[in-house]
Amino acid sequence: MISARNIKERALLEGFNKVGIVGASSLEDEGRRLNEWLARGYHGEMGWMSRDVQKRINPSEIFPPARSVVVVALNYFTPHQHQQSSTTGKVSRYAWGDDYHDVVKTKLTSLLSWIREQDPQTEGKICVDIQPTMDKAWAVRAGLGWLGKHSNLITPEHGSWVFIGELLLNLELDYDTERIEDHCGTCTLCIDACPTNAITEPYVVDSNRCISYATIELRAPELPSEMDLSGWLYGCDVCQDVCPWNRFEEPAAESRFAPRTGNVNADLADILELTPESYAARFRGSAMKRAKLAGLQRNARALSCDHPRSSAA
C-alpha cells in the first residue's frame, strides 16, 4: 500500500522542491476571508473569482472522491535582472520562461501516473492555478510556507519565487500537521514599496490598484489614467523584489524557466509591431499569452507614451 512518505519522495524525484500532504477538508476560515475580499470588490473585473466560491473552499466540490491533497512547490528563480529603459518594458519573473501551468502539470501528471502504478485503484485530479482551488491556502495548510503581507506564499528556502500545484487523491494518507509560523514580523517593505499602494493593509491586495492586475487581467482598451506602471509591461515583482526572505533565493533546477529572448525586458517597438501571427509564434507556450495581443500592445503604448492614456476603465 502506498504511503505519504512514498508520495513525497517521488514528488521530489519529479523535481518539486517542497511537498506536503493534508486532508481534503473545507477551507472554512480561508473561505470566509475570500468572501470578505470579494465583498470589497477587490477582485476588480475578475468575475470568475466570485463564481464557484464553494468549489474554492471545498475540494470535494470539484473532485467528489477527494480524501487527500498533495501540495507541491516549485522554485522558478533565475539570476537575471530587469533593466530600466524608456524603450523596453519589464516582464514579471514568473513569465520569463515556459508557461508554468504546463511545467507543473507535466510533473504532477507523472506523479499521478506513478501513484497509479503502485495502487491501480487510485483516482486523482491535478490542479494548477486555473482550477478553482485556493493554491496559497493549501500550501500554508500543508506547511510549505506562510502567507506574506503581500499575499504571496513565502517559503523559508526559496522565498516567494515558487509555483504551487495540488494533486487531489481518493487515498487516505498520513497528514502533515505542522505549519510554518508567520515570519514577516513588523516588516512592511512590500507595503511601503508598492508603486500604486495596492496593498491596502497587511495580507490584503486591492486588484483595482495592482499593476499586475492592470497589465494582465484588465481587458479595458486603455489603462486608467492614474495607473503608474513604473516601467512594467507585464505583471509586477516589486513587492517580491524587496522582500527580505527573497535574499535566500537559489537558481531553479528546472531549465524550462530560463528566460526566453525578450522576456525579461521586452522591446516596446517590437511589441507594437506584432501581428496576430507573430504574436502567436513568439508567445507559444508562454504565460504571457494571458494578456492577449491587445493587452500587451495597450501596455506598450502606455509605456512608450506614443498614445496618451485615457481615463477609461
10: Cβ contacts below 8 Å, ≥ 6 apart: 111, 114, 115
Q: Give the cell for residue 135.
A: 493554491
Q: Answer yes or no: are the C-beta atoms of 114 and 70 closer than 8 Å.
A: no
Q: Answer yes or no: are the C-beta atoms of 82 and 265 closer than 8 Å.
A: yes
Q: Cell numbers 519573473 label which residue? A: 93
Q: Answer yes or no: are the C-beta atoms of 228 and 195 closer than 8 Å.
A: yes
Please give the angle made by the CA atoms of 178, 183 and 186, to the nearest 5 degrees: 150
Closest CA to 255 of 92, 96, 72: 96
User: Could you give the CA distance from residue 271 to residue 280 in angstroms, rounded to a whole number?
Assistant: 12
Q: Give the cell for residue 223.
A: 489603462
Q: Answer yes or no: are the C-beta atoms of 203 and 147 closer than 8 Å.
A: yes
User: Could you give the CA distance from residue 245 to residue 247 in angstroms, rounded to a whole number?
Assistant: 5
User: Could you give the CA distance from residue 121 to residue 237 in angstroms, rounded to a whole number?
Assistant: 43
Among 29, 52, 98, 129, the one annotated catalytic: 129
129 is catalytic: yes
User: What's the first-to-final CA gap in the chain, in angstroms?
Assistant: 56
Cα 199 to Cα 103, 142, 193, 305, distances in angstroms: 30, 25, 10, 27
Phi-psi sector, 285: left (phi>0), alpha (psi -120 to 50), beta: left
User: What's the gap between Cα 138 and its chain centre?
Assistant: 13
- What amino acid positions are annotated as catalytic residues? 129
